[in-house]
């Protein structure tokens, strides 16, 4: 089972999550959840976990829902196949690089480099999201 868990403020990261699920297709059972409805069990019971959050403020994770969730799973990701994604409007993706390093340092097996999309995923960036889902589905 693949768990895709995300936080979205403007809808861009939600749209990315839906495109990633489309890319995963029928290859595996997929559970798509907003982080407010997710639990640590979703991570524990998944074969692969895909987390999404846009850059907030000074390139940080959203701090009321996503950051506490990430903190709650940090000790559960060792050996877990994990991928990250999110949208941004400014900056250079530093939040994604830091998030990826943080999860890898906790022992997560990173499926791919974190996917970032500027603004709304359209055209080429929408294709990137679908292809990211295919990468997740095909990762052994």
CA distance 115 to 16: 10
Question: Residues for the chain: how many in total?
Answer: 140
- Mean pLDDT along residues 114-131: 95
Residue 27: pLDDT band by 50, 70, 90 thresholds?
low
- Mean pLDDT along residues 79-86: 98
**Cα 70–Cα 9–Cα 13 angle in degrees, nearest 5:** 70
Residue 59: pLDDT band by 50, 70, 90 thresholds?
confident
Residue 12 has pLDDT above 90, yes or no: yes
Q: What percent of the chain has pLDDT over 90?
A: 90
Residue 133 host element (H or E): helix 123-138
Task: Report the predicted TM-score, pTM, of the whole model to 2 decimal places.
Answer: 0.96
């Amino acid at each position: 089972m693949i768990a895709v868990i995300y936080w979205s403020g403007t809808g861009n990261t939600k749209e990315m999550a839906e495109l990633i699920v489309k890319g995963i297709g029928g290859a595996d059972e997929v559970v798509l959840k907003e982080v407010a409805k997710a639990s640590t069990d979703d991570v524990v019971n998944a074969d692969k976990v895909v987390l999404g959050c846009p850059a907030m403020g000074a390139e940080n994770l959203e701090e009321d829902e996503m950051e506490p969730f990430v903190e709650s799973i940090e000790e559960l990701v060792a050996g877990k196949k994990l991928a990250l994604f999110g949208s941004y409007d400014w900056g250079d993706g530093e939040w994604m690089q830091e998030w990826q390093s943080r999860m890898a340092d906790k022992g997560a097996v990173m499926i791919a480099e974190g996917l970032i999309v500027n603004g709304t995923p359209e055209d080429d960036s929408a294709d990137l999201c679908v292809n990211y889902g295919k990468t997740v589905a095909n990762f052994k």
